Amino acid sequence: MSRGKKLYEGKAKILYEGPEPGTLVAHFKDDATAFNNKKRATLEGKGVLNNRISEFIMTQLNSIGVPTHFIRRLNMREQLVREVEIVPLEVVVRNVAAGSIAKRLGLEEGEALPRSIVEFYYKNDALEDPMVSEEHITAFNWATTQDIDDMLAMSLRVNDFMSGLFAGAGIRLVDFKLEYGRVYDQNDMPRLILADEISPDSCRLWDIETNEKMDKDRFRRDLGNVTEAYAEVARRLGIMKENGPSEANEAK
Ligand code: UDP
């Protein structure tokens, strides 16, 4: 499978032109960044793990009727996805207080929230992704009221599904971030589908018994064993064998 020219390089992924119009190839890098790029590292094997974990979750979401950009995995580091017009928002769903909500509202990290909470952030590195309200989103035409309703409904459905999926693997889904993209169907009607990735880079995942962190907070907070924790998530989901991924086993 040949990929075309490089279109965009982000912090953790590179996007190439895909083999057919309307497709892209997403390449998962080992680079990790946090605190708006102030902290950086290369974590060997992270890209391979995130490619597999995201494939696993997106495939299951597709199968329960949540539309996603995922088409198929191509190799250890690459997946074929639908090209979308990205909505410039990060949609965060929270079940348990952690990270920025704990700080902002003075909540104890680990406190269960009274119900799942959905928040919107404007995707803009220079502004450090500020939190925005529906008023901002519609006033600046980032998305319509209908889009917001669709994102809320889809995000809560993804939350219910993923909470169960992870609970079955002994993992608490504390919070996560989603991104959406717009696609146009035959009749030129726009519709939103899930885009980007779902991985331990974009979720907070705690061991259900010990509350041990199994996500990017291990990198943000210098807890060590970052890729080992990601590999454990993959292992518990039944994706990887005990000894983790090996790029030597699969054609690049
Ligand atoms: N998140 C993300 N990308 C971002 C910001 C947040 O994937 O640019 C994820 C983060 O990993 C966590 C959730 O969204 O699972 C909520 O993050 P929070 O607002 O608490 O911010 P943080 O503590 O990461 O700064």
Nearest CA to ligand 1 atom 2: 202
If you average pLDDT over every residue of the chain, what do you get?
Answer: 95
Domain limits, CATH 3.30.200.20, in the chain: 6-84+226-250
Each residue's pLDDT tens digit, 13-68: 999 999 999 999 999 999 999 998 999 999 999 999 999 999 999 999 999 999 99
Residue 228 or residue 185, greater confidence: 228
| The predicted structure's pLDDT at residue 242 | 52
Instruction: For a ligand 1 pocket test, name from 199, 202, 213, 230 the mutation site with the most ligand atoms within 8 angstroms of its C-beta.
Output: 202
Residue 247 has pLDDT above 60, yes or no: no
Cβ(102) to ligand 1 under 6 A?
no
| The predicted structure's pLDDT at residue 186 | 86
Residue 246 has pLDDT above 70, yes or no: no
**SS (HEC) of the chain:** CCCCCEEEECCCEEEEECCCCCEEEEEECCEEEECCCCEEEECCCHHHHHHHHHHHHHHHHHHCCCCECEEEECCCCEEEEECCEECCEEEEEEEECCHHHHHHHCCCCCCEEEEEEEEEEECCHHHCCCEECHHHHHHCCCCCHHHHHHHHHHHHHHHHHHHHHHHCCCEEEEEEEEEEEEEECCCCCEEEEEECCCCCCCEEEEECCCCCECCCHHHHCCCCCHHHHHHHHHHHCCCCCCCCCCHHHCCC
Q: What is the CATH number of domain 6-84+226-250?
A: 3.30.200.20
Closest ligand 1 atom, residue 203 Cα: 15
252 confidence band (pLDDT: 50, 70, 90)? very low
Each residue's pLDDT tens digit, 113-154: 999 999 999 999 999 999 999 999 999 999 999 999 999 999
Each residue's pLDDT tens digit, 190-203: 999 999 999 999 99
Q: Cβ neighbours of residue 210 under 8 Å, at least 6 residues apart?
A: none
Residue 5 has pLDDT above 50, yes or no: yes
| The predicted structure's pLDDT at residue 248 | 44
Domain limits, CATH 3.30.470.20, in the chain: 87-207
| The predicted structure's pLDDT at residue 240 | 81
| The predicted structure's pLDDT at residue 98 | 98
Instruction: For a ligand 1 pocket test, name from 11, 37, 100 the mutation site with the most ligand atoms within 8 angstroms of its C-beta.
Output: 100
Cβ(206) to ligand 1 under 6 A?
no
Residue 251 has pLDDT above 70, yes or no: no
| The predicted structure's pLDDT at residue 249 | 45
Superfamily of structural domain 87-207: ATP-grasp fold, B domain (3.30.470.20)
pTM over 0.75: yes
What span, in angstroms and rounded, lies between the C-alpha atoms of 213 and 215?
A: 6
| The predicted structure's pLDDT at residue 56 | 98
| The predicted structure's pLDDT at residue 206 | 99
Q: Cβ neighbours of residue 67 under 8 Å, at least 6 residues apart?
A: 191, 192, 193, 194
